[in-house]
Structure 1
Amino acid sequence: MARIRLALIGLSQSAKTSWARDGHLPYLLSERGRERYKIAALLNSSEEAAQRAIDHYELGADVAAYGSPQALAEDPNIDLVVCTTRVDVHYGTIRPSLEAGKSAFVEWPLAESLQRASELADLARERHVRTIVGLQARVAPVVLKIKELLEAGTIGQVLSSDVSAATPLGGGDSISEGLAYFMDKKVGGNAVTIAFGHTIDYVHFVLGEYASSQAHWQIQRPNQTIVNRETGAKRLIISDVPDLVSLHGTLQPSRYVAEGASLVVHFRSGPPFPGTTAFAWTITGQKGEIRVSSERGPSIQVAADDVPVPIEVHDFATGEVKQVEWTWEEWQGTLSARGRNIGKVYDLLYEGRVEKSGVANFETAAVRHRQLNAMLSQ
């Protein structure tokens, strides 16, 4: 099978943090990735910026440099467009490629608003193009192992589940200049849409969606100081983004979820109480319980080997608690933590198995956007 020719939007030479560099390049530049994909173009804020990134990452003289989304969309040598920019740039940079009928892989959140996310989903459906959204925890081995245990009836039908999540970073009265946009809800990228959004998506991927739910949110620390880490300069802003969210409701029944089963989720931006676990997810069934925990918080889609994410199963009949092992595929173990599940998504796309594997697309992303929009409107 021929390699898939892709264009990366947002790979920068100068960015201090870069999901394109840290999440996508490890796989794409690996031996396995090079066998399946060809980076054929970059799109940045200008053609010159794109060329600087091509040179910096030594991608090759045959990689095209673009500064215009429309020019990229018109390139016949591109099969897949991958968008890794800040969320409020997603819509404008990816829409021309969708209109041109190109496949698209857009990082989460899909867009800065429900309206624009829905527009992109509608356009992709009209053009009959394949889409992916970077909710990559759906392919994480730890998440798939939990789903496997439930499908096997290990704890019987699910009666309830509760999630307690805190983020090791944030939660104070200051934030770096580079993340100041996290305090502005209209930008669309913040701790709720990103960290909570990823978390609630893989929880629903395992347990199914709510049949009905209610939400509560709070802005505990609206007064924020923006700090320039290089110059020391400070400025004050008022945040309109919640830093505490709670959800509770009834899950839709399924083969392994009982009628009336509850799901309760508590999320806060900021570290947990000292000595307690930043993330704990318990699933209670008729015959036992499953507990998943992580010292680094709920972002188990970027779990690293040095901080384990154990799965424990408590058997009610025997009282015994066993740890269930899960592993990375051998090739994933050679990549950085951020690149492993992104690499798996790329693999599934190349093999034509994204739909069968439940990889998130624009349609499923729109579902999650609707949930977040309704939740934050309450």
Structure 2
Amino acid sequence: MAPIRVALVGLSASAKVSWASDAHLPYLLSRYGKAHYKLVALLNSSVSAAEAAKKTYNLDSSVKAYGDPAALASDPDVDLVVVNTRVDVHFQIAEPSARAGKALFIEWPLVDTLARTYDLTKTMNLQNSIIGLQGRVSAVPLRLKALIAQGTIGTVLSSDIRAFGNLIPRDAFPEGLTYFGDRKVNGHPINIANGHMLDYVQDVLGELEDFQANMQIQWPERKVLNAAGEAKGTCTNDVPDLLALHGKLRKGKAGIVDGATLSVFFRSGPQFKGDPGFVWHIYGTKGELKVSAPGPYIMADFYAYDAPVTIEVHDFQSDEVRDLGWEVEDWQKELPGKARNIGMLYERYAKWVEGGKGEVKEGKEWPTVGDAVERMEQFAKLYKTFDSEWET
């Protein structure tokens, strides 16, 4: 079968955030990626920027360089457009290709408002898409789903999470990321880091049927740090940096008692010194699971930690605590850490395309833009609990 022809958006020679080069490009250029995909185009802010990226990453001269989303959308030799940019430009980049009927892989968050979510998706084939909520196909959540299905802790009664967005300082933003403090952009730790977590947690336990939440802005003014970590002025912050949420899980999920409670605490910035950055308890009738991550709490990638990410069980009958372990698939070990779960998204999507785009096999699902719509609706509701004036 002919490879799926990919246009990569946001692969930059000078980007502040390097997700396209760290997570997408290594898979696409690997032997696994080349078995299913062919990188045929780049889209950047200008043709010259795309050409610079081609040179920086030693891409083939046949890769086309675009600076206009509409021009890319009209290219008949592109099948899948992969969007890796700041969230407030996702819509203007993706919408022309959506109208042209191209498949889309969009990093989370989908777009910056709920209104644009509906505008983008109204003509799309939602199944023929990918949303970058890769936590759903990550090894630890998949292991947890299997343990619950096996009845390792009996029936789940409740779950609680304490998490920290410790990829950034508690009271500062790095230069180039001050937009994290601008709520109009809608690309910030509550939406991105916490959003990834809430998605894979609900994929494991089931969707929240209803919830109550409290959010707080603890640092309305933040320092701006240069590359050396030195403070070079300040910026205002109108984005909440603390979230406390609790609610009931939707009825009907196998292995989960009706009315099970989910409680989540998230705070942007480092945790108490020496504590884990992420702790997730799942409490059942026969035992309790505990997941601990020492490094960046966001478990969408499981890479480059300075200590292991662990899954432990407290067996109530034996009163023993055991490490249950987890493992990525062998082929993923050949990829850099950040590319492993992104690669799994590409792999699952490619198998579906190559299989004729029929019914998705159980256990081979991937998150689609349709899943992102549900998550965007949930976040719109979440923000209304904080600010009834929040733009949706």
- Give me the TM-score of the superposition, normalised by structure 1: 0.95
Gaps of 5+ in 2: 354-358, 386-392
Written as runs of structure 1 = structure 2, the 5 A alignment for 1:55-134 is 55-125=55-125, 130-134=128-132
Q: Specify the alignment match of 2:388 in structure 1.
A: none
- Per-residue CA shift, 1:86-142, capped at 9, x if unaligned? 1111100011111111100000000011211222222314xx661110000100011
Matching residue of 2:50: 50
* Structure 1 stretches lacking a partner, 5+ long: none
Alignment match, 1:184: 182
Deviation at 1:321, TM superposition (A): 1.4
Question: Take 1:248 and 1:304, find their aligned partners in 2: how far apart are those partners?
Answer: 29
Cα deviation for residue 173 of structure 1 reads 2.5
- For residues 229 and 171 of structure 1, do their structure 2 counterparts lie closer, same or farther at Cα, with a shift above 3 Å needed? closer
Which stretch of the first structure deviates more once superposed, 166-175 or 189-198?
A: 166-175
Contact 1:101 1:129 in 2 (8 A): no
How far residue 77 of structure 1 moved from its aligned partner, in angstroms, is: 0.6
Quote the Cα distance in structure 2 between the aligned partners of 1:291 and 1:121. 37
Q: Which amino acid aligns with 2:91?
A: Y
Kindly report which structure 2 residues correspond to 1:326-341, keeping only aligned pairs within 5 A, or say none: 326-341=326-341
2:200 maps to 202
Structure 1 residues 265 and 54: CA distance shift in structure 2, 3 A: same
Counterparts in 2 of 1:7-26, with a 5 A limit? 7-26=7-26
Partner of 1:362: 369
Residue of structure 2 equivalent to 1:229: 227
Q: Please point out which of 196, 211, 215 is paired with 1:217.
A: 215
Could you say which structure has the higher helix fraction? 1
Q: Which amino acid aligns with 1:153?
A: G
- In 2: Cα distance, 1:129 partner to 1:277 partner: 37
Task: Indicate the percent of aligned positions where both proteins have the same amino acid.
Answer: 46
2:116 aligned partner, one-letter code: R
The alpha carbon displacement at 1:228 in A equals 3.5
Residue deviations 1:208-258 (CA, integer Å, cap 9, x gap): 011211000000111112234379673332211111001101111222110
Secondary structure of 1:193's match?
coil
User: Separation in 2 of the partners of 1:159 and 1:233?
Assistant: 46
For 1:296, the equivalent position in structure 2 comes to: 295
Deviation at 1:303, TM superposition (A): 1.0
Work out the CA distance in 2 between the residues paired with 1:233 and 1:223.
13
Q: Distance in 2 between matches of 1:250 and 1:330?
A: 37
CA contact (8 A) 2:171 2:269 kept: no
Change (3 A) 1:70 1:172: same
Matches of 2:246 and 2:348, distance apart in 1:
33
Q: Which amino acid counterpart does residue 133 of structure 2 have in structure 1?
A: L
Secondary structure at the residue paired with 1:290? Answer: strand
Segment drifting more, 295-304 vs 214-223: 295-304
Instruction: Decide whether aligned partners of structure 1 residues 250 and 97 sit closer, same or farther in structure 2, where only a CA change above 3 A counts.
Output: same
Q: Distance in 1 between matches of 2:167 and 2:102?
A: 37
